[in-house]
Amino acid sequence: EMFHSVNSISGSQQQKLTCRNLFFDLVRNAGTPSTVMFIKEMIEQDQFTAFESYLAITTLAHYIKAPTEELIYQIFQLIKSPSVQNKFWLKGSAHLVFANIVRNACLGSSKNVYPEQVFGKMCSANNNKIVEEYIPHLVQDLKNAQTSVEKQIALYALGQLAHESVIPLLVSYVEGKTQDSSVTLRKNALWALSDVAHYYRHQLLPVFLAIAHNPAESRSLRIPAIAMIMKQQPETVQLQKLAVSTWFEQDQEVARYIYSTLKDQAHLKRESHPEGSYLYKLSQKAQTVLPLAKPVPMILPTIKVYSGYLPKLEIGAYMLNSLMTLSQSTTEFYHKTEYFLKQVQTTPVEMAFHVAGMSTIAKDLLKTVTESSESVLHPQLKELIQKLEITPREDSKIELGAWLRLSDDINFAAEINHETVSDLKRKVLSAIKDSGLSVMSKICGKTPINHQNVFEELPYQAVVPSDLGLPILVESQMTYFYSVQGELNVECSFNKPSASLEVASKMSYTYNGYAGTISPFTQELLAAGINIHRSTNLPVKTIVEFEPSTSQMKVAMTQNSQVSSNSQGIDVHYYSVKPYVARKPIVFKDLTPAVTHHNTKIIRSPASPKSYEYNFGQSLGLDMSVKVETECDVFDAQTMIDSWSNFNYNPVAAQWFFFAESALTAQGMPTARYHSYSVVHNPSRSSTKAAEMSVQVSLASKVESQEPRKYTLHSSQGVQSQRLQENSRTEQRLGECLRKVNSKIGYAINAQVNTKLIGGQPKTYTYSITAGSGHNSLKHKWNLHFENEQNTEMKKLCVDGQMEYPTTSSSDAHFKYSNKVAFGNTCDQYYVNVEGQSLVSNKQRQFSTYSIESEQCHKATQELESLKEKFQYVSEEDKETRYSLEKKHSEVSKKMHMFCNKKRDQSRALDQTEFTITTSQELPTSVYSMAKSLNTAAKAVFFQYISKVSQPTLQNKIQVELTFNQKINSVSAKVQSPKENVVFENIRMPYELQEVVPLVAGKNPLEQSYKAITGKSWYPKCTLGHGYVQTFDKKSYTYQIDECDHLIASDCSQSSTHAVLAKEVNGLKHITIYQGQSKVELRPAHAYSGYVEKYVLTIDGQEVQLNKNEEITLKSSSALEQITAFYSNDNTVEVETPYTKVTHFGKTVSIEEMSMADGNHCGLCGDYNHDKRADIKSPKGCVFSSTKLAALTYRSKSSQCKPLSQKIQEQIRTEESKCVKYETKNTHAKSIFDSEVNKSHSIRKHTYIFKEDKICISQEPVAQCTQKSMPMAMKKKTIKYVCLPEGRVAKLYAERIERGESPQELRHQPVAFKVQQDQPISCRPRMQ
């Protein structure tokens, strides 16, 4: 009846919708049996909109107050109804919610508190409907699922149920024993156990450990299994085994994940753990085992845990972020934030996101933006592919999914894969075909926006009997509200398409808690409580318009109608803390919150109230003020610092606990005193009534010997380019910027920003910023031009600079840097010029000759030569000896490659850096003040490193000399200025920066930094050495290429975009590169004692002259499609294509792959999937018993090549006839689980008993027989008990004990009593 009354209310359509939205939220939030039945009826009768139905179902588990067995059965009827089952987007969410409700109410595994002492037990695990109807329905839904997305959601629903009867089914899916098994389903079945695994820890932890330690298992399961292990409180010995396994792990990503997890946990400080956090014990164990793990140098780990405890507020939180790189270019991200609020533990946000098939998407995009001719194979490469009989590798399929959980039990999920994408395409094309252009009418035009939402978090109500016979009422709740109203207008004009968005928003947060009783005389509520309120009201209409044809965006902000007629100040932002006492009727009688009732009084403290007001915004025509009313003992700058100290000066913690802001004592301690502040806007006193801003972006580029091009966006033809005319001021700025950059490839962008304040005396502000960038091989340039026409002091800011990377390790190797910052009314008024260079010192060169790495390189080189000599005396028939030598040769080659590369980097480390700073004759006073402050700050921070201060020796400039010492990881600095000379010696650098600085000659600084941060190369490198190969995945093996071409690295997918071939003539490598229809050949022309003096380079048969230290463009179809070559001073040649970078050192060649690791590559450099296992597969994708034999299959079958021996050919044919395919070996999860179930007859678990009004818990875990077993022998043992008052805290402890946890804090509690109890010595299964 109320619902029909709300629908029939008079008023505008917007008012009607607002009333309906608020009514819907109130009914949904009530959560009583009657409102749940109302929601059920409305959904079944299709009275709710699609969004309302979805929101009502997804939040049902959160708001339901009394989930009795009958009510749960009614919800079960709802999820089976056609209104739910016929909507795939609603069906999956309904099953997840229903499983949550059954688990929370029936299986006793919830943080929720239900009024069982008033209404009786909600539901029990013995409810027959669970095993007779609920579980069979969910299992049948899994069996009937047609798509993989439906199966995944069905698995998650079964996992959320947490019933012991579904665990074996999920374990079967984890193993892959089902008919519809796939890696994706197995992984989802594993994740489905995430929330409930701790209830079955003894049975499931061995399963997770077996998966993690199975080297033949898929990475897609091993990494999630490791994540699951960490949640199950593993023993130290189990973590120890994981740590040691990193030394033998073939999968790089698995090793990185294990090390990163242990390292991040180990680095958590003891005092940073909130009370009750499961990370405390895990962190201590990780500290113990971390030294056993193989180090992976990285600054940014794949898993990052932030944990913090605020002792003054007695609250804490932890935040976990995990980035998992799985197989087939699949990446998963997981985030969880958990709060520890004294007696409350809650997870406000938990989310996961995964994406797969990015390489497939990238290839499709590249095909779209490049010329069609480039996608055609070169005839010779096509012939080679046919002769080698290369079977195209299948591209990874597109998968995109996200899952979000709010406030412990509100789940949202979405999944898209190749099946749904194909289905979506079909439906869109069908809609266009059936409706024609009329389908656009649903998109184009005006669409009203009117949405309100009221959300309650952590609602709690309790009625506690007292000795006086009066009920004690306790209630607390956090309520969030937000409102968005406006309009979306899409103009589908063919000539001038645009989109505009007009919105006005409000939001608020309120925490209210009280404790009180009901007066037996007046039946009124007598209570004392506290109210914390925060609200934000943006009293403006925001209009956003975008015009693609002009690349212009306009934003207009105007006062809404209510503000325009308001003469009073409006609180834009308001925050208050109000302690109060109240005497009023209960809320069900007067519908009035206690804090707003006229009888409510604010509790005042002895501190005198203080008021402050600060006005601002007048220069913009706005009457704004900040008003503060507080009962802080003192309110000054120190108070503000003390307020931040309560959050450990951490802005993230302050954001987490935004509700903990309060008045402070003089000692900085938080209080519950009255405290409020507000930001007020008075529209009647403000001359500015509206504001407009337009942003127009222009882009241009220039390639050497070509005219500059300007890019524009057209609705019909997409991105188009045309010659830069320089007719307008914007185009002139772009052209000037490109000329200053003066690079072979240059880019420039201009942003014109016009801002106008309307009302009273209009004010207009115009800003223009032009930025450019370009590069010539290892030289990068930039140019920035900023204009502010209204600023009388500094109208222009110009930045012009360049950076040149060194390309040789000789004495003239320099890293050059220059940057000029000019500013003022013109770009010539003031300037600050910085010029610097870095070089390799003689001391550094000497260090590289006697370092540990140098010694190991020399030792490995000699050992490798010795092994080569031994090879000559071993016959082909002696397979055992040859295999042993090849294995040893591979190991030594890997060591030599690692140590010699490190030695080479040391010899090219730019350990000396010099900067010279010069300025104009005059500078603004603010610049001098800033320089003095920086000088003082530097001396204060590095005071302990100052070794000398002397009189100045320079005038009108500043010189800084830095010297890096790699041996002790330190840097010394000498600073000479017109004021003084200061020397800092041996400033210790963090260990993490050891791989970042000093820079290395010939290496791109960004690539060097990326490897130091992530522990992975920017572009994986394959090395073709003398008698060995190291693949992209770091697998080393013995192989000597001959005078016949070998396929070294190639894209072996359907597109076959590129390939690199090599052969060896007289000990020197000859390289052939195929890129699209282009063929590049590179070979040494002259060599002396293996030292190459000259190279011959041809492109499509035409020889190209190479000049030292000069980059040449061999082919350029566009800025993204270029082939370049660079000949350095140290006689190495680098050829770069859109996909590969080949560097020729004469005897050795390295290939860097610039595409994604998708496992679709083939050749001597492997499949490129970050996994050493089965790295070298044959052209047909077969795994051979010998890596050398597999490598021989990539030898060209040209008539010009000497054929392989009959014996080797026969071996290859035999292997190909078998064609063993690489397959993962599924872990026998089900048998392990069954074994643990059968043998886990006894467990160690805390026991608890109820004694009077207390719950008493054993101080230590005691031996107990499991539910399906019985004692074989018993003995007496003294048990110590700790007693806690029965209530919320005691209930939380009981839940933790039921989950199998062992709260360590119980050991520090006083013992209430001791008792002699029988304890089982051993247990056996019960007789069936």
Per-position DSSP letters for 992-1032, written without gaps between them: GGGGTSS-BTTS-HHHHHHHHHHSS-SS-EEEE-SSEEE-T
**Among candidates 651, 650, 647, which has minimal Cα distance to 664?**
647
Model pLDDT, residue 533: 94
**Amino acid letter, residue 1067:** G
- CB crowding 238-264: b at 16 or more within 10 Å, else e: bbbbbbebbeebebbbbbbbbbbbbbb
Model pLDDT, residue 1027: 83
| Beta bridge partners of residue 1115, listed in sequence order | 1123
> CA 583, CA 523: separation in Å to the nearest integer?
10
CB 952 within 8 A of CB 978: yes
> CA 1163, CA 1150: separation in Å to the nearest integer?
14
Per-position DSSP letters for 894-923, written without gaps between them: HHHHHHHHHHHHHHTB--EEEEEEEE-S--
CB 396 within 8 A of CB 362: no
> CA 1204, CA 878: separation in Å to the nearest integer?
19
| Residue 544 φ/ψ, nearest 5 degrees | -115, 125
Cα 750 vs. chain centroid, distance in angstroms?
Answer: 31
pLDDT along the chain (1328 residues), means of 10: 74 83 88 91 89 91 89 93 89 91 78 72 82 91 86 89 88 86 88 86 90 90 92 91 92 89 89 82 92 87 84 87 77 88 84 78 54 62 87 79 87 77 64 55 77 87 84 90 84 68 84 93 92 88 74 79 68 93 89 89 92 87 90 91 88 86 91 93 84 84 78 59 77 77 74 80 72 60 72 74 64 76 86 89 86 90 84 75 80 84 85 90 86 88 90 86 90 90 91 82 79 82 88 88 90 85 88 90 74 83 85 70 81 87 87 83 89 87 89 85 86 89 86 78 81 86 78 80 84 80 80 86 65
Model pLDDT, residue 580: 95
CB 688 within 8 A of CB 757: yes
User: Taking the alpha carbons of 342, 343, 345, 348 in that order, is the dihedral positive or negative?
Assistant: negative
Q: Around Cβ 1093, how many Cβ atoms within 10 Å?
A: 11
Model pLDDT, residue 116: 74
Angle between helices 69-80 and 33-44 (to 10 degrees): 10
CB 1319 within 8 A of CB 1274: yes
User: Taking the alpha carbons of 1199, 1202, 1207, 1212 in that order, is the dihedral positive or negative?
Assistant: negative
CB 1246 within 8 A of CB 1282: no
Which two structure tokens, joined as six digits, stand for 463? 């009625």
> CA 897, CA 860: separation in Å to the nearest integer?
9
